[in-house]
Amino acid sequence: MSEKYLFDFGTGEAFPGYTKVTEKSVYSDKSGFGFSRSDQMYMINRETSKPLFSDFCIPLRNSFLVDVPNGVYTITFLIGDALVETETTIKYNDNKVLIRELKTYPKQFVRESFTVNVNDGRIKLTFFGCAPRINAMEISLKKDAVAMFLAGDSTVADQPIDGYPYAGWGQCLPQYIKADAVVCNHAYSGRSSKSFIDEGRLDSIWDQIKTGDFLFIQFGHNDSKPDKARHTDPFTTYKEYLKIYIDGARQRGATPILITSVQRRMFNDDGKIIETHGDYILAVKELAIEEGVLLLDLAEKSKNLYEKLGREGSKALLMWGVPGEFLNFPNGVSDNTHFQEYGANFIAELVVEGLREFNLQSLNLCLRS
């Protein structure tokens, strides 16, 4: 099994030890790597003396695929152009944001590394941006990454590409995490603290989590639903189910972190957010004190953000769109709970802000400055 894959993009000679990627490098099962489509990629050579940076590819909404054995991998991107400014966004598996609007100036060359979890034998990297670049790429097996597991609902989950721009904050979190750590997002739409366990989703986390890892826990949106499969009572069963997450993480040497539910965008006549989660937020806070668990108050942080932006300004964060605004929602959409990707980025920033406030060295070592 190979533990390192090196790719040099462009028209020049391949850098020693690297596999050359050209216009003819379209993915096939035989080659095991290449772009998903033969158009929307342009190879250029500036003929500079900068190794690996003189030639490059301009991939326009094209995906680069690499077959690898399942595991955790660090991907290092080399990006830049000797003559013009660039702007590059890169997503992993269609929806996880690794790089967002990275800009470089002429003759500025950067190396950015991120770690991802591969479960289906393939790395898929899709390139966006006004002027994207990829000069070279290094993919190497990462055996000692700290894992940051996410257990939650739709506001956290990785949302499918056919629902774009619908997004959970968990899929935007990787861009803020150093290559020494990997985000493992197990959150799933429509789940409560109870149904997440009953469906075996927590068992999947227990199969992977290890000493030194983190478990982020955000439920509440669906615990108040009346159906038997999801409903919990704030001060009894809700706390009892959350304690299962806490105890399980600690038994495995991991650190549990409770997160209060992100607020819904519901304003009163005075321009203040209406608390729609009732006692569920209070119950999480009580449990954090009772169990001595770190608490990230995302409810308070999102409330402050919405109120700062105001009734109209905050619509840009949520799935609000007029007919024809979003390709996947041709009839328009008005949703005060779920984020579009633009807003999910803001919420992910609030999560990172909260994590920094813990001033926990083992956690700070995972966060980008």
Mean pLDDT per segment of 10 residues, for the chain of length 369 residues? Answer: 89 94 96 96 90 94 97 97 97 97 96 97 97 98 96 98 97 98 98 98 98 98 97 98 98 98 97 96 98 98 98 97 96 97 98 98 95
299 within some domain:
yes
Last residue of a domain, one of 141, 162, 189: 141
208 within some domain:
yes
One domain, residues 95 and 124: yes
Half-sphere exposure for 290 (CA within 13 Å, toward CB): 13
One domain, residues 183 and 61: no
Strand residue runs (E) in 132-267? 136-141, 146-152, 166-167, 181-185, 214-218, 255-259
Measured distance CA(185)–CA(348) in Å, rounded: 13
231 within some domain:
yes
- The count of structural domains within the chain is 2
72 within some domain:
yes
Q: With the C-alpha atoms ordered 260, 262, 268, 272, is the resulting torsion angle positive or negative?
A: positive
Structure tokens at 74: 């660090």
369 within some domain:
no
Burial class (CB in 10 A: 0-12, 13-18, 19+), 240: middle
Q: With the C-alpha atoms ordered 320, 323, 327, 330, is the resulting torsion angle positive or negative?
A: positive
One domain, residues 262 and 296: yes
pTM of the model: 0.96
Give the residue carrying structure tokens 């940051």.
Answer: 148
One domain, residues 83 and 136: yes
One domain, residues 222 and 347: yes
84 within some domain:
yes
Give the pLDDT of residue 1.
53
Give the pLDDT of residue 338.
98
One domain, residues 163 and 221: yes
Give the pLDDT of residue 47.
84
Last residue of a domain, one of 73, 107, 141: 141
310 within some domain:
yes
One domain, residues 199 and 135: no
The parent domain of residue 223 ranges over 146-364
Tell me how many degrees the CA angle 122-124-126 measures, rounded to the nearest 5. 175
319 within some domain:
yes
Measured distance CA(84)–CA(132) in Å, rounded: 11
One domain, residues 120 and 158: no
One domain, residues 240 and 297: yes
293 residue type, one letter: V
| Listed residue (337, 315, 319, 339) closest to 329, CA to CA | 319
User: Any idea what the CATH number is for the domain that residue 71 is in?
Assistant: 2.60.120.430
One domain, residues 91 and 70: yes
Contact 170, 352 (CB under 8 A): no
Structure tokens at 173: 């979190």
Question: Cβ of 87: how many Cβ atoms within 10 Å?
Answer: 14
Quote the radius of gyration of the chain (alpha carbons, Å): 22
One domain, residues 237 and 158: yes
One domain, residues 70 and 215: no
Give the residue carrying structure tokens 């949106």.
Answer: 221
Last residue of a domain, one of 81, 108, 141: 141
Half-sphere exposure for 58 (CA within 13 Å, toward CB): 14
